[in-house]
Amino acid sequence: MNITVNGTRQPLSAGTTLLDLVAATTGRRLTSEGRPDDGGRLGVAVALNAEVAPRTSWAGTMLADGDGVELITAVQGG
């Protein structure tokens, strides 16, 4: 199946959850609640098909062919 992540089309295995995608994209291991298992901060917001996806829903949200995902990363600046 194919989805779009931040405007780029990408192939994805069937059965992939939003949590799996966020973990793979950020390179972090996440708990089922969507938090880094090292206790740090993730600093990521996710929208699925233009709707904000609460972190607590990531593990139970299966991605489907044609989905659009936007990952927004918080960066510190000044």
For 2-73, which CATH superfamily applies?
Beta-grasp domain (3.10.20.30)
Query: pLDDT tens, position by position, for the chain (78 residues)?
Result: 999 999 999 999 999 999 999 999 999 999 999 999 999 999 999 999 999 999 999 999 999 999 999 999 887 776
Extents of the domains making up the chain: 2-73
What is the pTM (predicted TM-score) of this model?
Answer: 0.90
| pLDDT value of residue 77 | 74
Q: Could you tell me which residues come within 8 angstroms of residue 44 by beta carbon, excluding any fewer than 6 positions away?
A: 22, 26, 71, 72, 73, 74
Please check whether residue 63 is in contact with residue 19, taking contact to mean a CB–CB distance below 8 angstroms. Answer: no
| pLDDT value of residue 78 | 64
